[in-house]
Amino acid sequence: KSSAGLMTTKPKNEQEIKDIKVSGRMLASVLDVLKKNTKPNMTTKDLAEIAAKELKSLGGKPAFLGYYGFPDVLCTSVNDEIIHGIPSSKKTLNQGDIVSLDFGVIYNGMITDAAISILLDSNSSRDSFLVKHTETALLKGIDIIKPGIRVGDLSAAIQKVLDKAQLGIVREYVGHGVGHHLHEEPNIPNYGQAGTGAVLLENMTIAIEPMATLGSSQTLVDADGWTVRTKDGSRAAHFEHTVLITKDGPEILTQI
C-alpha cells in the first residue's frame, strides 16, 4: 500500500502504551495458537477461522478485515506467495509448505501487526535456511532499536543479514509505523543506508517486517488483487513484530 497521505506515527502516551501492549499480547497469543495448530491437510480458511475465534475469545478485534476491502481476518501466504494471501476453503496445506501468517489486532483503538512463517514438516534445508534467516534479519534489526536511530539504520541492519544469506529482498513492500492506524509513516524498507531517513523517537511503535525469497526480489500481484507472489516462483518467508521504542531499547509487543 502506498503511504502517501498517511500520518506519521506518534510517540504513544501512557494509556496508549498500556492498550497497545494488550493488543500485542493478544496478537502473540493468536499466532502461537496458529503455530501449534497449522498442519498438512488443513485449509487456509481453517487457519483464519481459528484466528477469528481465538481473538474473539480474548476480546480483541481483527485489524485486517475490511482494510482497503481485505476480505478476511488473516493473511495466509503459501510457498511462492509472499504476503496478502486470502484464506480459502479450497486451498489445502501440504507437507513441506512454507505457510506465512500475518495478523493484526485492534484493542481499545490500538493496533498491532505481526507475522510468522511456518515450515510444515519439511526436510528441505534450503527452505529452513530461508525461514531461519528471514527471522534472524527481523531480530537483528530489532536489536539496534533505541530512540534517535534513523530508519536507514534499521533498514541496513536487516539488509546485512539478508545479503549475507544471499536471499532476495522484497522491495515493494515494507515495514511501517503502526498504532492508531495499521499503516503509518515512516515506511521501513528492508534495505537501505545507515544514517539516512526519519529519526525514530521514544514511545513510537513500529512494525518491522522482512520479506525474503530464495530467488529474485521481483513480485507480482494475483488477479484477486491481493496475493503478492514472487515473479520467478521461488519460495518466500515473512516475519514481523510490532516494537515499542523505549529509552532502554526495543520492547517487542507481539511476542509471548
Instruction: Give me the residues that bind Mg ion (CB under 5 A), please.
Output: 113, 207, 209
Q: Report, in Å, the least distance between residue 121 CB and Mg ion.
A: 27
Q: Please, which residue, 97 or 209, has the CB nearer to Mg ion?
A: 209
Q: Please, which residue, 148 or 221, has the CB nearer to Mg ion?
A: 221
Q: Please, which residue, 232 or 251, has the CB nearer to Mg ion?
A: 251
Q: Please, which residue, 133 or 241, has the CB nearer to Mg ion?
A: 241
Task: Look at the block and give the residue holding cell 517487542.
Answer: 252
Q: Report, in Å, the least distance between residue 92 CB and Mg ion.
A: 26
Q: Report, in Å, the least distance between residue 12 CB and Mg ion.
A: 17
Of the CA atoms within 13 Å of residue 64, those in its CB half-sphere come to: 26
Q: Report, in Å, the least distance between residue 39 CB and Mg ion.
A: 26
Parallel, antiparallel or unpaired: strands 205-208 and 219-221: unpaired
Query: What string of DSSP letters covers 12-74?
Result: P-HHHHHHHHHHHHHHHHHHHHHHHH--TT-BHHHHHHHHHHHHHHHT-EESSTTGGG--SSE
